[in-house]
Amino acid sequence: MTMTEAATAPSASPAPLLRTESVSKAFGGVQALSGASIEVGRGTIAGLIGPNGSGKTTLFNIITGYARADSGQVYLDGRRITNLPPERVFSLGIGRTFQLTRIFPTMTVFENMLIAGQHKERSWNPLARAGGAASRRHAMELLDFVGIARHAGALAQTLSYGQRKLLELAYVLVADPEIVLLDEPAGGVNPSLINTIAGKIRELNAAGKTFLIVEHNMDFVMGLCDRVMVLDYGSVIAAGPPAQVRADPRVLDAYLGTGEDDDAQDGDRGAGHEGA
């Protein structure tokens, strides 16, 4: 957190830290994103919501270099980062988790933490051991925080789905990027732990870290975020403080599916498959 914390004037909306500008993306016939523009202010917690298949994960993929935008731009701190490869995006300060969790299955839980922290070690010697004493302690603390410290020595593939989500959260925190993108951090996690996670996010945010969170759990989003953006059919249909967004009739429409496709569809757009 070397960034000027003193200048964190909430919602004064100076130049946003992360911004996308009419990003579009089609998969074959499916228009996953059409002109999606979002903004995340520095030091804020932003929420991104929308029905299933509205393009949230796709937008994450484009921001972080896992998918290429057909058109549109992505800016980090005013700098254009559109379609940079994932390792570049990460080194510029964006970290993320995956909706379906992507951990390193044949490495131990603790090694997963070390690999997430490896970029911080500026050793000239490639054969240096991974992780100094301090970073090892920090990794252990984070594992303890998400409650899986006693599995530190186990192979990550032996974790349950919920535990994997927690591991991925812990290791994106150990990676310590400037802005953290979380794709459904509360999905499959038990309710009391959801509160703990929300608390941790608040705590880190108070220390200056920026978050962009995709989540279907409305209590979680509305209770946590400073600003919420709503995606529907690949474009942003509403944005603002939680209370305002919650009351917006367009958002209700999008979720309840009134209009053209009200026959039996529960807001699932497109093919709805979840490839791995």
Partner 1 sequence: MSQLPQAITDGILGGAVYALMAAGLTLIFGVMDIINIAQGILVVLAAYLSYALSVHLHIDPLLGLLITVPAMFAVGAAIEWAFMRRLRGRERTAMSLLVSYAVAVVIEGALYQVFGANDVAIQAPYVNSGVHVLGFDLPYIYLIGAGLAVVAFAAIYLLLYRTTFGRSVRATMQDKVAARLIGINVNRVAAITFGIGVGVTAAGGMVFGATNAFSPNSGYDLISRLLSIVILGGLGSIGGAAAAALFMVTAEEVVNIWQPVWATAVYYAVLVIVLLVRPVGIFGKPEARSS
Partner 2 sequence: MIASGLRFGGVAALLALGIVFPLVFTNPAVTSDAIYTLIFVAAASAWNTFSGYSGYISLGHAVFFGSGAYLTGIATLDWGLTGSQVFLLLPLAGLVGAIIAVPFGLIALRVRRHTFVVITIAIFFIFQLMAYNLQSLTGGTSGLLAPTVNFAAATYNNPFYYAALVIAVAAVAVSWLIRRSRFGLQLRAIRDDEDRARGLGVRTMRVKLGAFVISAVPVAMVGGLSWYFTGLIDPSSGFDPLFDVAVALMAFLGGLGTVAGPVLGALIIEPAQQYFQGQVSAGYLFLMLYGALFLVVILVLPRGVIPTAAEQIGKWRDKRREGDGGLAGHRLAAAGAAPDRAKELA
Ligand X SMILES: Nc1ncnc2c1ncn2[C@@H]1O[C@H](COP(=O)(O)OP(=O)(O)OP(=O)(O)O)[C@@H](O)[C@H]1O
| Token pair recorded at residue 142 | 């984070």
**Contact indicator for 105, 157 with CB cutoff of 8 Å:** yes
Q: Using CB under 8 A, which of the segments 74-82, 121-129, 191-199, 216-224 binds partner 2?
A: 121-129
Asked if 28 interacts with partner 1 (CB under 8 A), we say no
Can you tell me which of 24, 44, 54, 64 binds ligand X, judged by CB under 6 A?
54
- 37-76 footprint of partner 1 as x/- string (CB under 8 A): --------------------x---x----xx---------
Q: Which is nearer to partner 1, 30 or 149 (CB)?
A: 30
Residue 269 binding result from Mg ion, partner 2, ligand X, none, given CB thresholds of 5 to 8 Å by partner type: ligand X
**Ranges within 33-72 binding partner 2 (CB under 8 A):** 64-66
Phi, psi (degrees; rounded to nearest 5) at 131: 80, 110
Query: What is d(CA 110, CA 139) in angstroms, rounded to the nearest whole number?
Result: 8
Give the DSSP letter of residue 108.
Answer: B
CA dihedral over 90, 96, 99, 104, signed as positive or negative: positive
Q: Which of 42, 56, 96, 227 binds partner 2 (CB under 8 A)?
A: 96
Two tokens at 32? 């996953």
SS3 label, residue 124 = coil
Q: Which residues, including other chains, have CB under 8 Å from residue 176's CB and lie 6 or more apart?
A: 95, 117, 120
* Residue (22 or 135) nearer to partner 2, CB: 135
Closest approach of Cβ 129 to partner 1, in Å? 28
99 binds Mg ion, rule: CB under 5 A? yes
Q: Which does 243 bind (CB under 5 to 8 A by kind): ligand X, partner 1, partner 2, none?
A: none
CB closer to ligand X, 34 vs 196: 34
List phi, psi (to 5°) of 197: -65, -45
Longest CA–CA separation in the chain, Å: 62
d(CA 243, CA 227): 9
For binding to partner 1 (CB under 8 A), which residues are involved?
A: 27, 57, 61, 66-67, 98-100, 102, 274-276
For binding to ligand X (CB under 6 A), which residues are involved?
A: 27, 30, 32, 50, 52-58, 99, 269-273, 275
